[in-house]
Structure 1
Amino acid sequence: MTFDWERFKQSNVARIFVAYAVVVFASMQILDYLLPIIEAPLWVAQTLTIVLFLGFPISLLIGWAYQKTSADLSEDRSKADKGGFNMPRQKLIMIGLAASALFGFLGLVLMPYMLDQAAYSPAAESSRDQNILSNFRSFRSRVLLGATGVRGLHNTRTDIAISKDGMTLAYLDNQNGSRLYIRDLASVEPEDRFIGDLDLTNGSGLMFFSQDGEWLHFINGAQLARVRIEGGAFQIIDTGSSVLRSSFTAYDDKVIFSDTEDSQLHIIPASGGQVQSILPSMDGQAAEKVFTWPRVLPGNEYLMVTTSDSLTRVGIGDIEVLNVADGSRDIIIQNASNATYVSSGHIVFVRDSDLWTVAFDLASMSVMGSEVPVIENVETNSQYGFATYAISENGKLFYLPGSDVGSTLNSGIVSWISTGGDRVETEIEAGSYSNISLSPTEDRLVFTSFDASGAGSDIFVWDLNRKTLGRRTFDGVATNPIWSQDGRYLIYSHGNEGIKSVAANGTQQPKFLFESNSKTRPFGLSEAGELIFDMGVPPKMYYVSLADVSEPAENPAIELELAPQIVPFHALNLSPDGNWVAYVSNETGSAQVYVRPFPQIDRGKWQVSTTAVGAHPIWNSEGKEIFYFSGG
């Protein structure tokens, strides 16, 4: 019996074979495109693939079973003449396809149950959230921002924020200062809209969109600010507070933030007004914990916050739920930071350089199930609890791949830099240092050294000739040392209690020059014994005449009104002859370096820096040249 190819091409089997192959191919292409967009679980794709392939032989079998031969057709005609029943071939084909469709539908409904019956049993329902990563297929794509530079101190490349609908992205470009951009992701060809330059002084960035989606909130020169997403002038919400660069949040036209003065949470109307403490029981008392990364939970009655022992140990803090009404708190996650609630009923938080998640019950304000890593290798700074990630209300997660850059903050190297740019490292071991100052005799360096945790700091002196390091304070709260004019004494800030002095050779016990109840930092001592210092938040500048740098001050302090608003990072520096002061001010909208005569500051003012940003002015030994940081 030979195979009749022509007859086969006219048969139901051949037609079903070709039609089904075309339908399956088209279906696979559509499913491959559609399933990731609707974020369907992985088992849906697996089940549909099995159903499509199983339906193929079933359709061929049905088509073959109802295939008519010539003899069959003659018999059918005879039966028809006798009034017998005859089913048209088209109906038979339709029955076959309908049977295949029915089988596919049943397979779609029953396959997950048959493949993993235990996973759908009532007893296992509570454990499904723990396995979300193993059976969830997410849609991933890239948003190319281009080169964004690196932010000083934090070592991170950018900050990002995403709107509620996940279609508007805000980010920072730190290549030349800090420039704020907004990108419309819904556009076919997205373009970046420049919103404005941020003031880097004492912190900036950390944007987020308001609940109504009309405003973008951010930190600008340590102050709360906002701008409409269409662009326009920046609106400063409050000029009397200095905001920690540890995020803040807004709800019901209110803004919650952490203040640098007490590291506690405060609330203020989004349009400006009176600042109030969320934890009134802490007013006037030493801070029990540092509060950072506040996030409002649905209902606006509770916050998620990160609490830690210090500002540089945020990454190993605790995530707590805080009742806004009464200030009560409960720890829900330990050794983590920077948590965000997601509408799926989960919390996403930062641990090391990874993003983790855990199910969260809003009714009981408690976590459920196990903590699971979601995304590994995200750019983070574990010391400050920072991570470059943002989540929209509909669950779109944006993040910047990277590593923990906070681990590099304790590896600073003290070096000499020549005017030609040549660098020579000293023999001082790598560590975390600040406030480096050369003695008047140019044979010693004094600096603040922070411990490995960043929680404590003390004053050290490095002898350039002997190559020896000497410790001068031991209380763990000393910062901002300066030299007396003869190099015999060191004057420094002692926590929030005032200013002390100690013999530079370490032969005497420290003594208070004067005491205070807020942070007070010395910045210069003239030959006439006039000590320049700042005090409070926001700071104010003062000077006081000292009869003896080793004895308490007896004269009243006089305020120096250098600028309408003294910025916390003014970095004031007194000239070697004591007749001029160089400092940083943002009175023109950006941080710039200025020079004024001292103490008669009203006799003139000159802007020294000409770049986008000027910071940290330093006089040369002759007092005829100033060096400063440019561009942040």
Structure 2
Amino acid sequence: MTEHPRPLTAQRHTIPRQVEAAVLTALEKLPADRFASAAEFAAALTDTSYARAATTATAAMPAVGRPGATSWQLWFIAAAGVAVLATALAAWGWVRARALASQPALWQYIVVGDSVHPLVPMPSLALSPDGTTLVVKDIVQDGLLWAKGGSTLDPVPIPGTERALHPVFSPDGEWVAFVADQQLRKISPAGGSAVTLADSAAAFGGGVAWLDDGSLIYVQNSLNKLMRVSSSGGKGVVALDNSELPGQSLDYPTALPDSRGVLFLACGPNCVTASLRVLDLRTGQQKLVVTEAIQGWYLPTGHLLYTRRDGTALAAPFDLDRLEVTGPAVQVLDRVLVRGGFAQLAWSRSGVLVFERGEGAANQNLPVRVTPDGSVAPIDTSWYGNFASLAASPDGQRMAIGAGTGAGGLNIWVKQLNRGPFTRLSFGGGDRRPVWAPDGRIVAFIRDTLNTSVVAARFSDGSRPDTVLVHLDRQLQEFDWSRDGRWLVVRTDNSVAGAGDIVGLQTSGDTTPVPLLASRFTEKNPAVSPNSRWLAYVSNESGRDEVYVRPFPNAADGRWQISTAGGIQPRWAPDGRTLYYLDLTSRMIAVGVTTGARFAVGESKPLFDASGFTLDPFHQSYDLTPDGRSFLFLAPRRLSDAARTPSLVRVDHWFNDIRAKLVQ
């Protein structure tokens, strides 16, 4: 050799400086200037102080070559350098892997920054594959995503990510995908313009998984389909619908390696019942993995990680060929704060874990009254549970509620307000969405069976057997009972033909189903006015959910749009003069209306932020008291001050901790 090799970092900047220095030393012309042994070479690969001295000396050495060097000589020099570099990188990788494998897990509480408050009640954490960059969402109105790198003290905002949820890194770490304004988008964490990949993506519930082949799996905003789209955008295709899981939403997908499939959650109302399932992308089939689990991930250690409602996380061996658990699960984390159907948790392939830690309440909700100014008061502080939906009786003295049994079942219970008994009313195991008859004597509800659902009813004192009120040829999702008692208005499931239609049935005489709103769009959240003359509902005909009103039962005779920037879940004030709804940021909006012989829309005003309550984006999540003075919500139960002020925890070398726990 007669030329000095060029610095390696000029050709590949990711090579560690000590590796570059060791390679350059190994390529020295004189044997006396090289390493005396392979052991010295290996030691230099991890000696950062050696790197500083050697690299400085190399940088000061001019690169000169012998005039007239032949091409074969230059080729020999290059080949020798490549061979030494390959050997050095292999040795460095082996040494580094052994060193990392012996590192104990390092646990620490972390603070993202003084100006960012990342702990929000929706999925809002993402870690880059190398574990160096944490992306979080700010909790403020229209909050951005922020990127926090290990080399900077303060996080950096990512413009163009207002209202973003479900952030997830691409496998190469160059992009972050997220959902905002019912669109799936991607953006570089270093900044730039956001790119829209798909429309009709679910923000509440929902979720995104980025596969190794470059495609993404996301949840359609109807919550009943997993969609697949290229990372370059284009038309999404259905990867899975919920036809085999009637009455359940498909949420929180996470990717399996090599695009083998996705883990996802099948949720009942408000995820009071939930199961972790897997979609095989080779066959298009799905199957159960773990019952009563909340979110799951496949780890590079070969294990399935999943959380439970009580905040514990477990790891179990998982066979990627058979897509099933092959051994017992071992607890690896505790006090992971679980909200609804997800855990605020992110990990990287490099073995870094970040999660939100606090005292969970096992998905328990507390019924509360909320005044129009946003003041909150529990109905009974001793009354809480796995509650999914509620309805106030016409006299305001009782509340019907859908409650989980803890074993995957869901039934209807009745509570005497405020501190009276809580009595089980139904025993179907798949009973949800209670609605009171106008006279208060009967409670009706949706009952799911294996292949369909019905509207069933039972006297509120439990004195008589169940009666079936509505049985259609389609799955049912929600309904309302007109105040004059003459009509039941039901909304069908949107996973089959006639998706999301609203159908009316008279309670006596001719009970033939009457299509009220049947279009190629999705209609939902039917609500009949107190005088039984008007029907409020939600449709996505404009490209996003908006609240509309039509005459009832002659729905074709007119249409008025109520919301102006998106809206869901309309509810009438008992006097019929105000129509309430939630906007797409979960603010309660009040709109003055006239509901006499003619309908008219008046002024609207925001009342309070409802994002802290338990909200179901696809069904009604609240009611009003009969006097119209308060709203009724379910609020996540907090166990202590620690639960109200959760913390972020970072764990380095976390996979070593998992391995240690699994061999104990």
Amino acid at match of 2:112: V
Whichever structure has more helix as a proportion of its residues is 1
Kindly indicate whether the alpha-carbon contact (under 8 Å) linking 2:214 and 2:230 is maintained by their aligned counterparts in 1.
yes
Aligned equivalents of 1:142, 1:399: Cα separation in 2: 11
Post-superposition shift, 1:546?
Answer: 0.4
Post-superposition shift, 1:235?
Answer: 2.9
Residue of structure 2 equivalent to 1:45 = none
Equivalent in 429, 433, 448 of residue 383 of structure 2: 429
Q: Does 1:480 align with 2:444?
A: no
Post-superposition shift, 1:475?
Answer: 0.2
Aligned equivalents of 1:304, 1:420: Cα separation in 2: 40
Aligned equivalents of 2:472, 2:440: Cα separation in 1: 23
Residues 272 and 488 of structure 1: is their aligned pair in 2 closer, same or farther, counting only changes over 3 Å? farther
Equivalent in 132, 143, 146 of residue 179 of structure 1: 143
Partner SS state of residue 540, structure 1: coil
Q: Does 1:502 align with 2:458?
A: yes
Kindly indicate whether the alpha-carbon contact (under 8 Å) linking 1:350 and 1:385 is maintained by their aligned counterparts in 2.
no
Aligned equivalents of 2:297, 2:316: Cα separation in 1: 11
Residues 129 and 321 of structure 1: is their aligned pair in 2 closer, same or farther, counting only changes over 3 Å? farther
Residue of structure 1 equivalent to 2:235 = 273
Residue by residue, what CA displacement relative to the aligned partner does 1:252-306 show, whole Å, maximum 9, x if unpaired? Answer: 343335679897866455534363446xxx9854579997654444433x23636
Residues 314 and 212 of structure 1: is their aligned pair in 2 closer, same or farther, counting only changes over 3 Å? farther
Kindly indicate whether the alpha-carbon contact (under 8 Å) linking 1:315 and 1:384 is maintained by their aligned counterparts in 2.
no
Q: Does 1:305 align with 2:274?
A: no
Residue of structure 2 equivalent to 1:217 = 177
Residue of structure 2 equivalent to 1:148 = 117
Q: Does 1:399 align with 2:354?
A: yes
Residues 552 and 388 of structure 1: is their aligned pair in 2 closer, same or farther, counting only changes over 3 Å? farther
Identity rate of aligned residues, in percent?
A: 18
Residue by residue, what CA displacement relative to the aligned partner does 1:501-529 show, whole Å, maximum 9, x if unpaired? Answer: 33344324221422233233103425272
Equivalent in 493, 499, 504 of residue 536 of structure 1: 493
Post-superposition shift, 1:479?
Answer: 1.4
Partner SS state of residue 576, structure 2: coil
Task: Give the alignment's Cα RMSD to 1 decimal.
Answer: 5.6
Residue of structure 1 equivalent to 2:211 = 250
Q: Where in structure 2 are the equivalents of 1:410-489 lying within 5 Å?
A: 410-415=364-369, 417=371, 421=375, 423=377, 425-426=379-380, 429-453=383-407, 455-464=408-417, 467-489=420-442
Residue of structure 1 equivalent to 2:26 = none
Amino acid at match of 1:476: G
Aligned equivalents of 1:380, 1:259: Cα separation in 2: 23
Unmatched tracts of structure 1, length 5 or more:
1-36, 41-97, 110-124, 199-203
Q: Does 1:159 align with 2:159?
A: no
Aligned equivalents of 1:475, 1:362: Cα separation in 2: 36
Post-superposition shift, 1:402?
Answer: 1.2
Post-superposition shift, 1:481?
Answer: 1.9
Equivalent in 323, 347, 352 of residue 390 of structure 1: 347
Q: Does 1:578 align with 2:532?
A: yes
Partner SS state of residue 195, structure 1: coil
Amino acid at match of 2:184: A
Unmatched tracts of structure 2, length 5 or more:
1-14, 19-32, 45-93, 582-587, 589-607, 612-664
Post-superposition shift, 1:314?
Answer: 10
Post-superposition shift, 1:559?
Answer: 1.4
Kindly indicate whether the alpha-carbon contact (under 8 Å) linking 1:357 and 1:374 is maintained by their aligned counterparts in 2.
yes
Amino acid at match of 1:179: G
Aligned equivalents of 2:146, 2:161: Cα separation in 1: 10
Amino acid at match of 2:137: L
Aligned equivalents of 2:530, 2:291: Cα separation in 1: 52
Post-superposition shift, 1:483?
Answer: 2.6
Residues 304 and 315 of structure 1: is their aligned pair in 2 closer, same or farther, counting only changes over 3 Å? farther
Aligned equivalents of 2:251, 2:503: Cα separation in 1: 34
Partner SS state of residue 623, structure 1: coil
Amino acid at match of 1:432: N
Q: Where in structure 2 are the equivalents of 1:54-93 lying within 5 Å?
A: none
Kindly indicate whether the alpha-carbon contact (under 8 Å) linking 1:242 and 1:261 is maintained by their aligned counterparts in 2.
no
Residues 131 and 585 of structure 1: is their aligned pair in 2 closer, same or farther, counting only changes over 3 Å? same
Aligned equivalents of 1:531, 1:361: Cα separation in 2: 49
Kindly indicate whether the alpha-carbon contact (under 8 Å) linking 1:544 and 1:557 is maintained by their aligned counterparts in 2.
yes
Whichever structure has more strand as a proportion of its residues is 2
Residue of structure 1 equivalent to 2:471 = 514
Residues 138 and 572 of structure 1: is their aligned pair in 2 closer, same or farther, counting only changes over 3 Å? same
Residues 544 and 368 of structure 1: is their aligned pair in 2 closer, same or farther, counting only changes over 3 Å? closer
Post-superposition shift, 1:227?
Answer: 3.1
Residue by residue, what CA displacement relative to the aligned partner does 1:339-389 show, whole Å, maximum 9, x if unpaired? Answer: 2444xx5657344546677899989999999988776654444x6352321
Amino acid at match of 1:275: V
Aligned equivalents of 2:316, 2:431: Cα separation in 1: 40
Aligned equivalents of 2:275, 2:501: Cα separation in 1: 34
Q: For this pair of structures, how many residues does the alignment match?
A: 495
Residues 108 and 362 of structure 1: is their aligned pair in 2 closer, same or farther, counting only changes over 3 Å? farther
Aligned equivalents of 1:581, 1:441: Cα separation in 2: 23
Aligned equivalents of 1:246, 1:168: Cα separation in 2: 20
Aligned equivalents of 1:143, 1:311: Cα separation in 2: 33
Residue of structure 2 equivalent to 1:557 = 515
Kindly indicate whether the alpha-carbon contact (under 8 Å) linking 1:543 and 1:558 is maintained by their aligned counterparts in 2.
yes
Residue by residue, what CA displacement relative to the aligned partner does 1:215-253 show, whole Å, maximum 9, x if unpaired? Answer: 5333457x6612333454663625499995355333434
Residues 234 and 333 of structure 1: is their aligned pair in 2 closer, same or farther, counting only changes over 3 Å? same
Equivalent in 557, 572, 589 of residue 619 of structure 1: 572
Residues 249 and 523 of structure 1: is their aligned pair in 2 closer, same or farther, counting only changes over 3 Å? farther
Post-superposition shift, 1:602?
Answer: 6.0
Residues 150 and 451 of structure 1: is their aligned pair in 2 closer, same or farther, counting only changes over 3 Å? farther
Kindly indicate whether the alpha-carbon contact (under 8 Å) linking 2:180 and 2:203 is maintained by their aligned counterparts in 1.
no
Residues 307 and 226 of structure 1: is their aligned pair in 2 closer, same or farther, counting only changes over 3 Å? closer
Post-superposition shift, 1:534?
Answer: 1.5
Aligned equivalents of 1:375, 1:466: Cα separation in 2: 37
Partner SS state of residue 578, structure 1: coil
Aligned equivalents of 2:272, 2:99: Cα separation in 1: 27
Aligned equivalents of 2:173, 2:99: Cα separation in 1: 33
Equivalent in 205, 219, 222 of residue 165 of structure 2: 205
Partner SS state of residue 175, structure 1: coil
Post-superposition shift, 1:185?
Answer: 3.2
Amino acid at match of 2:165: G
Residues 572 and 463 of structure 1: is their aligned pair in 2 closer, same or farther, counting only changes over 3 Å? same
Equivalent in 513, 523, 529 of residue 480 of structure 2: 523
Q: Which has the larger radius of gyration?
A: 1
Residue by residue, what CA displacement relative to the aligned partner does 1:173-225 show, whole Å, maximum 9, x if unpaired? Answer: 2332x534242738866520232444xxxxx822213346565333457x661
Partner SS state of residue 299, structure 1: helix
Partner SS state of residue 493, structure 1: strand
Equivalent in 300, 305, 309 of residue 349 of structure 1: 305
Aligned equivalents of 1:320, 1:600: Cα separation in 2: 42
Residues 586 and 195 of structure 1: is their aligned pair in 2 closer, same or farther, counting only changes over 3 Å? farther
Residues 171 and 250 of structure 1: is their aligned pair in 2 closer, same or farther, counting only changes over 3 Å? same
